[in-house]
Amino acid sequence: MEIQFATNKLKKIFNNEHELVRAYGSISQKIKLRMNVLRNAPNLAFVPITPPDRCHELKADRAGQFAVDLVHPHRLVFKPSEHPPPTKEGGGVDKGNVVSITIIEVVNYHD
């Protein structure tokens, strides 16, 4: 999959291992693992929905975004880069047609 970033600062951090470790410390290794899974997937449907990745669609004020698990409670949050995102006939995002994502943040949104 093609991966973009919501900000240039995030792009700089994610594309430099030293910066990634400096910004995220011990969870940087999990971030690298999840990024490899995302990069190597031909589309979002190929990203596992079971642990340890557990790709899941978010709801409420994060509708249209997805997350993968890092180290509990942290998540790597992203959205389809396509505007509007591809949808299924019955509604919802058609993950099989999402071939480009935008990384939004690493966050604990449970607080």
Show the CA angle centred on residue 80, arms to residues 86 and 15, nearest 5°. Answer: 155
Strands 75-80 and 66-69: antiparallel
Number of domains forming the structure of the chain: 1
Strand partners, 73: none
Residues of the chain with pLDDT under 50: none
> What range does the domain containing 92 cover?
2-107
38 touches 47 (CB < 8 A) = yes
pLDDT of residue 110: 73
Question: What is the CATH number for 96?
Answer: 3.30.2310.20
State the pTM of this model: 0.95
pLDDT of residue 111: 66
